[in-house]
Structure 1
Amino acid sequence: MGQLSDNTRGALLMMASMASFAFGDTCVKATGGALPISQLLVLRGLLSTAFIAVLAWRLGALRWDFGGRDWALIALRSVSEAAAAYFFITALLHMPLANVTALLQVLPLAVTLASAVLFAEPVGWRRWLAIALGFGGMLLIVKPGADGFNAYTIYALISVVCVTIRDLSTRRMSRTVPSLMVTLAASATVLGFAGIWSLWQDWVPLTPTLTWLLLGSTVFIVGGYSFAVMVMRVGDVSFVAPFRYTGLLWAMVLGLVVFGDFPGPTTLLGAAIVVASGVYTLLRERTLRRQAVANARRT
């Protein structure tokens, strides 16, 4: 068997990252809300932040020589990450795993839409159509007006907004800012936010089951971050990006096996529309970037 190409390795790493995050979310959901969210975030954050700090140090990414604009964007991204963690975990504890994960798949479409509206980035009619279809698919998932729509569905949608702000902030940063430094700042902010919040909440003694679930969540989130960093260093990111949607497949399988939940036909249809629209948008952006590079070379 020949050596794997960079793009193939990148795709495998992206799938490993998405699988890790799906397993981590499964561990969190399996706690059943027995732990206060602040306690969960503090205990998980202590381990994950320490690991990310060591990884950043070993890779020479611990740098502080950024301009005020980049620091402001790092701060905005970190606050968005903390808000997203709260809203996402709250929704995750009260909704089927696959449904929450399916809603997050609208993220690439939301980022493209926000970039066009806020920063006047050009978006052709094809991507506008894909965005419209994708958000139509999202409505099939949340089913507004139906019994499945509740406050926790709104929490999931707010987490999508927070992650969109997070990713937009990342896009506007200088290329000189190391990705691991950005991740470390976000992880430390979530830890600080949870630590302050936990002062007003009673901590719960850890049972052996909760301890293992918490450790599992930490290991998987660290693995997810590690694989995500490797993805950035291997292959063409525009090629491997669509493989992020494999996380939805893991969420469906784990939701069925661990919790006995499986999305209904309407949710499956909505998820399929969201994924198809997102993949098309990513591939279209990849094509446009290649055309721009080719035109620049000709001139």
Structure 2
Amino acid sequence: MSTIRPRAMALRAAFTVLATIFFFLAFRHLGFADVFLFIGLMPLFAALLAGSMLGEQVTPVAWGALGAGFVGVLCLFPTGFAQLGFGHMVAFLAAFFGTVSIILSRYISRFESNGLAQVLYPNLALLTVMALALPFVWRTMPLIDLSLAMGYGAVLFAARWLLVVALRGLPAHAVTSLLKLQFVWMVLIGAWVFGEWPTAQTYLGAGIIVLSGLFLAYEVPIARLIARHVVRA
């Protein structure tokens, strides 16, 4: 499976590996809530990088929606950080590296339509790096854990492919904002599986996140629709 942008693909694979490693370290040193707070920064990173790397301009209205989405993330975690440490720095870098990988995917999508190539090569790079480290950390896994790992790998592969497809039609900052819907899934799963019922402030934050993500996803179609009516008038 070939690619017509091998250098960009190699960079995307490298940043995907870095993001995966740093996210793993972040989850070792921080709780889920703290790490997901840094994931909430990814749309802001995407908006900042889109201009220099992709030449895509972010409108002031979109900046407002991005800011509102981040406020929604903060509403989900009102207690904040007790102290900053190594885990926070690693989570920050993980979110940044992950955003660069997404930006590169958006760039590659301008030149080729083979979404599977963008999933194959980063995962192949990750497989190679982890295979080199495996002899130093090898532990025999129970069959149930191996089955869960295989299921996780299949779901992750499908999710990354869908992400590449989404980046063909939407700006990077819009796609990363839609990724914040995972906060909502976290709230719902926490209530359903673990009996952790959200507070009113959590529901407020989830609502802000959903609305800001939907606005950014439909910002371009809405703008075109408004412009069309203005021209007709």
TM-score by length of 1: 0.58
Please tell me whether residue 123 in structure 1 is matched to residue 58 in structure 2.
yes
Q: Which amino acid aligns with 1:186?
A: P
Question: Residue deviations 1:59-94, cap 9 Å, x none?
Answer: xxx234x2xxx2111111111111111122333355
- The counterpart of 1:108, out of the listed 23, 31, 43, is 43
Question: Which structure is richer in relative contact order (CA contacts within 8 A, separation 6 or more)?
Answer: 1
Please tell me whether residue 63 in structure 1 is matched to residue 2 in structure 2.
yes
Question: Residue deviations 1:228-247, cap 9 Å, x none?
Answer: 28966xxx955x96865543
**1:176 aligned counterpart, secondary structure:** coil
- Aligned positions of 1:126-141 closer than 5 A: 126-138=61-73
Question: CA–CA distance in 2 between the matches of 1:105 and 1:198?
Answer: 31
Residue of structure 2 in register with 1:193 after alignment: 129
Alpha carbons 1:106, 1:134 under 8 Å: kept: no
**1:192 aligned counterpart, secondary structure:** helix
Alpha carbons 2:118, 2:164 under 8 Å: kept: no
Residue of structure 2 in register with 1:280 after alignment: 215
- The counterpart of 1:160, out of the listed 88, 92, 95, is 95
- Aligned positions of 1:18-29 closer than 5 A: none
**1:122 aligned counterpart, secondary structure:** coil
- The counterpart of 2:116, out of the listed 180, 188, 208, is 180
Alpha carbons 1:105, 1:274 under 8 Å: kept: no
Structure 1 residue 185: Cα displacement: 0.7
Alpha carbons 2:73, 2:205 under 8 Å: kept: yes
Structure 1 residue 202: Cα displacement: 2.8
Structure 1 residue 158: Cα displacement: 2.0
Task: Mark the CA change 1:183 to 1:276 in structure 2 (over 3 Å): closer, same or farther.
Answer: same
Question: Residue deviations 1:131-176, cap 9 Å, x none?
Answer: 3333444555677973275533433332221121011112222432
Question: CA–CA distance in 1 between the matches of 2:48 and 2:164?
Answer: 28
Q: Which amino acid aligns with 1:175?
A: F
Percent identity, aligned pairs only, is 22
Question: Residue deviations 1:204-249, cap 9 Å, x none?
Answer: 12123422332332232244346x28966xxx955x9686554333
Question: CA–CA distance in 1 between the matches of 2:120 and 2:51?
Answer: 29
Question: CA–CA distance in 2 between the matches of 1:111 and 1:230?
Answer: 15
Residue of structure 2 in register with 1:171 after alignment: 106
Question: CA–CA distance in 2 between the matches of 1:229 and 1:261?
Answer: 29
Structure 1 residue 116: Cα displacement: 3.0
- Aligned positions of 1:82-93 closer than 5 A: 82-93=17-28
TM-score by length of 2: 0.72
**1:63 aligned counterpart, secondary structure:** coil
Unmatched 5+ stretches in structure 2: none
**2:159 aligned counterpart, secondary structure:** helix
Alpha carbons 1:115, 1:121 under 8 Å: kept: yes
Task: Mark the CA change 1:167 to 1:258 in structure 2 (over 3 Å): closer, same or farther.
Answer: same
Question: CA–CA distance in 2 between the matches of 1:268 and 1:90?
Answer: 29
Structure 1 residue 193: Cα displacement: 1.6
Q: Which amino acid aligns with 1:191?
A: L
Task: Mark the CA change 1:108 to 1:194 in structure 2 (over 3 Å): closer, same or farther.
Answer: same
